[in-house]
Amino acid sequence: MADFNQILDAGDVDGGLINVVVEIPVGSNHKIEWNRRIGAMKLDRVEPLIFAKPTNYGFIPQTLDEDGDELDALIITDQPLATGIYLQARVIGVMKFVDDGEVDDKVVVVPADDRHTGNAIQTLADLPPQLIKQIEFHFNNYKALKKPGSTQVTHWGDIDEAKAVIRESQHRWTAEK
């Protein structure tokens, strides 16, 4: 498999159009993670089915979040996306998140060219409130069976805050190289 971090960059962060690589399809309870050391996707673990992902889940190439991994992305679509594909996505916000005491933010995106829905989703406010509640519940509780209280959604941020998080993660990536 190609090393996404060598081929793809984060995209046009200032313009709000970024590249995202899919790790986990919506509805999957498989925790699949990109292993940049060997350049392949790895099945890290199988979660209880009750904690299947409420959205597609992936990462933004050439970024590092404060936890040392690529910056995560929650990809909003009405169908699952396959592991290993990449897409150009439009930034609509960020979910500020702490996992085991480490910052582990999630940038929220939609496909850049989603003509089927008429590009109706422009910001977090355009998402159904129930979906926001489901995402927040998932991330606040997905470790509850093994380590209760170890995860917390701290707040939701707008597009500008999301872009700032991406830029900070790009700087970390550059400094790491």
pLDDT digits (tens, 9 = 90+) for 49-83: 999 999 999 999 999 999 999 999 999 998 999 99
Residue 104, marked binder: yes
37 annotated ligand binder: no
Enclosing domain of residue 145: 4-176
Measured CA to CA, the distance from residue 124 to residue 25 in angstroms comes to 20
Using the predicted structure, report yes or no on whether residue 121 has a pLDDT greater than 60: yes
What is residue 58's predicted lDDT score, i.e. its pLDDT?
Answer: 98
pLDDT score of 115: 61
Distance in angstroms (rounded) separating the CA atoms of residues 74 and 53: 10
Q: Which of 160, 142, 158 lies closest to 150, judged by CA?
A: 142
Nearest CA to 79 out of 44, 122, 133, 28 is that of: 28
Q: Which residues neighbour 25 within 8 Å (Cβ) at sequence distance 6 or greater?
A: 53, 56, 80, 81, 82, 83
86 labelled binding-site residue:
no
Q: Which amino acid is at 1?
A: M
Instruction: Tell me the whole-structure pTM to 2 decimals.
Output: 0.94
Whether 72 has a binding-site annotation, put simply, is yes
**Per-residue model confidence (pLDDT) at position 118:** 54
Q: Is 45 annotated as a binding residue?
A: yes
Residues 6+ positions from 89 with CB-CB distance below 8 Å: 17, 18, 19, 20, 73, 75, 109, 110, 111, 112
pLDDT in tens, 83-96: 999 999 999 999 99
Instruction: Give the pLDDT score at 6.
Output: 75
Task: Return the CATH number at 93.
Answer: 3.90.80.10
What is the count of structural domains for the chain? 1
pLDDT tens for each residue of 130-152: 999 999 999 999 988 888 888 99
pLDDT for the residue 116: 61
The reply, when asked if residue 78 is annotated as ligand binding, is no
First to last CA, the chain: 21
Tokens 């997905």 map to which residue?
142
Residues 65 and 85: their CA atoms lie apart, in Å, by: 21
pLDDT digits (tens, 9 = 90+) for 5-58: 678 999 999 999 999 999 999 999 999 999 998 999 999 999 999 999 999 999
Sequence-separated (6 or more) residues with CB below 8 Å from residue 5 = 36, 61, 62, 70
